Amino acid sequence: MYDVRHVLRKAGLRSTYSGYNYLASAVALVLKDQEFYMKNVTSNLYRVVGEQYGVSNMCVEAAIRTMINSYWNQNSNKILSPLLGYPVFDKPTASEFISMLADYIQDHSPR
């Protein structure tokens, strides 16, 4: 989980949002099995994260979405695009954001 939280901080995300922990857990799960968790994000990924924290899958999604909205309004793509190495013009959805971060970690993990 350290790599995930390190990347979240590097991207400029704040741990003060409840969505931060949900996002970290979601990215960690996607790193374990991207095909399964990204196939049906609400039923698979958000449900499992919600079970970890004792909240509903809708609560997980809303908290992650709120955090992304706040992040995007404050930073736009000033931090995210340079970190990822490609331009991000539009605010990503929660599932796109999770996927982008998981891909970044996989691409930059020591082999």
Q: Cα 53 to chain center, whole Å?
A: 16
The domains located in the chain, with CATH, are 2-108 (1.10.10.10)
- Predicted TM-score (pTM) of the model is 0.91
Half-sphere exposure of 41 (CA within 13 A, CB side): 17
At 20, list the tokens: 């931060």
- C-alpha to C-alpha distance for 106 and 8, rounded to whole angstroms: 14
User: Do 105 and 27 meet the contact criterion of CB atoms below 8 Å apart?
Assistant: yes
For residue range 8-60, list pLDDT tens digits in order. Answer: 998 888 889 889 999 999 999 999 999 999 999 999 999 999 999 999 999 99
Instruction: Judge contact between 39 and 47, C-beta under 8 A.
Output: no
